[in-house]
Amino acid sequence: MDAIKIAENAFIDESQKQHPVFGAGDTVTVHYKIREGSKERIQNFRGVVLQTKGEGSTKTFTVRKMSGNVGVERIFPLYSPFIDEVEVNKRGKVSQARIFYFRELTGKKARIKERVRR
């Protein structure tokens, strides 16, 4: 293992290493901690993963959801301490690693076939 990875792993604690493996096309729910003053609560963000990017402690993923008629995209750093849990709801069958074309699709076309688990 190269030295950068060793250093990055030293900062990621064990609970965070348990994140499930997911990729573009999967539907996930991100449980995100939000701090309001001194209180902390968890907000859920459910949508389709458009891409995962980076490696190690700098890995991020983009989630897109439709909020009413408006598309909302959020980029989450996977190993951020604010991410409580990433839940995979559905495995999607897509042929690209980055499905930006998904933004243009509406209605019946904006559906992703479910992948049967190998």
Partner 1 sequence: MPGLIGKKIGMTSVFSVEGKNIPCTVIEAGPCVVTQVKTEETDGYSAIQLGYDEKKEKHTTKAELGHFKKAGTSPKRQVIEVDSFEEEVSLGDTLTVDIFNDSPWVTVTGTSKGKGFQGVVKRYNFKGVNDATHGQHNRLRAPGSLGASSYPSRVFKGMRMAGRTGGKTITIDNLQVLKVIPESNLLVVKGSVPGAKGSYLIIWK
Q: Minimum distance from CB of 99 to partner 1 (Å)?
A: 26
Contact indicator for 77, 8 with CB cutoff of 8 Å? no
Q: Minimum distance from CB of 31 to partner 1 (Å)?
A: 15
Span of 2-10, 38-46, 64-72, 110-118 interacting with partner 1 by CB under 8 A: 2-10
> Does the footprint of partner 1 cover residue 45 (CB under 8 A)?
no
> Does the footprint of partner 1 cover residue 43 (CB under 8 A)?
no
Q: CB atoms < 10 A from the CB of 22, how many? A: 20
> Does the footprint of partner 1 cover residue 15 (CB under 8 A)?
no
Contact indicator for 113, 93 with CB cutoff of 8 Å? yes
Three-class SS state of 5: helix
Q: What is the dihedral of CA 97, 99, 101, 103, to 10 degrees?
A: -170
Give the x/- contact pattern for partner 1 in 47-86, rule: CB under 8 A. ---------xxx------------------x-xxxx----
111 to 57, 98, 102: CA distances (angstroms) = 31, 16, 9
- The contact set with partner 1 (CB under 8 A) reads 3-4, 6-8, 10-11, 56-58, 77, 79-82
